[in-house]
Amino acid sequence: MFNSEKTPAVEAVKSAASTGALIFSIVIIAGLIFTGQTSLAQDIHPVFVVIVLTLAVVWLSIVEGGQASLVGLAPVSHDLYAESHRIAHKSCVDAHSGDSLDRYLLGRQFMVVFIVFAINIAGGPVSGAELWGFPQWLLSIFLGVGLAMILFTTMCGQLNSQVNASHCMLDYLNTWPNYFTFRVAKAIEFSGIVHASYIIQIIVASLAGKKTGLRERPRSDLQDLFFYFRCFMSLVLLIFAFVITLAALFEGKTTMWESVPNVAAVVVFFLLMCVVGLLEGMQIAFFAVSKLPEDERGDNVWAKKTCRLLFRGDAHNLSAFMIGRQLCVVSCMFFIARVTSFDIDPGAGDATLWGIPAWAQIFLNTGFLGALITTILASIAWQLVASAFPIAFLSNPFTYVLLRLCLALKATGICNGAYVIAWIHRKIAGFQRDEVYIGTAEERRARAKADNLDKIRTGTGHLLKLPAFVEDAPESLKELARNDTEVQEYISSIHKQADIESSKP
């Protein structure tokens, strides 16, 4: 079902309850900060912690909304909004040339993980935190499990921006902070810190018997040398991060709960990485199989069960999964941040890990290493595997179980407060739907400015994900997807042809 078929009264109750839980979570987080019970609040003034936390959440929302806008506008002719949205046009011209969008998505992935880790340091509770005499069961839910930080980050930093950016892409992208964020993501990719992902990409493409399909001109020998140097540098950095994080876990020098044995902490670390990887890869695989006829989705019993559940009825479960998935991923990332963040304070006389200088330990305490590991091994690697082997990725029971979990979380309405925040933001910013500026897809085609679907690149080596909010798509698009089998067959033929071209030597 789409939004129009939901019961308004039930949705209103869910939204009110979700918004209330969000407000309560923000109050709790503020209380922790001003009582010095977060990692950052123990070292600097609470006011500065609030500023850092606010900036981090706002930046996270820009990163999430910017991705939805840049990916969504890829097929649209740039000429249509060159005058009305000059900043958005500036970003899109760069993002939609060559392999720029893939590079941006790679850098953006690290930004998301690192910002979430920073939010955890600024607002996450320290071990044994207590507040205002609240009962222990309430503290266990909102602080121990981390529900307060999860709701705050998910609704304020991610889902609300995705709601607006799903149908107000031009207005959302047309700001200098968005352009700055785009450039930072590109700079992160250029720096080479996540270039180990390209090694994984090359290996996965080779196993799939396909080329990665770069659109840009072949690199010169010097450019090749620079590229592989960054790949090697990134691989060394990743190995170092992995080794030093495991050493800290085995020595009990992370912010993991004291009651958890060191060996158990290592096991939890790997389990969480696998769960995040599955959730990240699932959306890539779902995007891929959504374009395949039912008889081409494999014979595996779990793949069939997953697809039947996913595409039931009007395929509303696709968008429902995305919302529940966001909640699950953020939850896991907060736990990973706790597991991998170092609990070593050189200023308090703590011995640094392996005797490294105090300044180096302070840098490691920022969560950089944990963010790097999570980005490459728990996120990008799984997405690349899913892009190359989507059917195989769906052919395991864990995918089906996680899909069920995500749908159950969405059904509770726990994140409905994001729609309230999005509505407030939309009213304040004066966002208008893209159709106001560039018309519908049909109108653009009538003006000889039809969308170019070839710019939407999927398949091996591409991190293009499901649209965040399918249910917010224009009614004409939903109707087309439901009823026009010729269009479905045409889109499928495009992707099949792309696969054939990419597999050519």
What does pLDDT average to in each consecutive run of 10 residues of the chain (505 residues)? 57 85 91 87 89 92 85 80 88 84 85 88 82 84 84 87 82 91 92 88 76 59 86 92 86 76 84 88 74 65 80 66 83 83 74 76 79 86 80 84 87 83 88 82 67 54 48 43 47 45 45
d(CA 272, CA 325): 14
- R_g over Cα of the chain: 23
d(CA 290, CA 326): 19
Cβ atoms 356, 253 nearer than 8 A: no
Beta pairing partners, 503: none
Q: Write down the pLDDT at residue 476.
A: 43
Number of domains in the chain: 1
Helices 262-289, 221-250: axis angle to 10 degrees equals 140
Cα 137 vs. chain centroid, distance in angstroms? 31
Beta pairing partners, 125: 38
Q: Residues with Cβ < 8 Å from 228, sequence gap 6 or more?
A: none
Q: Write down the pLDDT at residue 218.
A: 65
Domain of residue 26: give its range: 3-503
d(CA 240, CA 234): 10
The model carries a pTM of: 0.78
Q: Write down the pLDDT at residue 501.
A: 45
d(CA 43, CA 293): 57
Cβ atoms 414, 22 nearer than 8 A: no
d(CA 18, CA 445): 41
Cβ atoms 122, 153 nearer than 8 A: no
Q: Write down the pLDDT at residue 448.
A: 64
Q: Write down the pLDDT at residue 16.
A: 87
Q: Write down the pLDDT at residue 505.
A: 44
Residue of 494, 485, 319 lying closest to 418 (CA atoms): 319
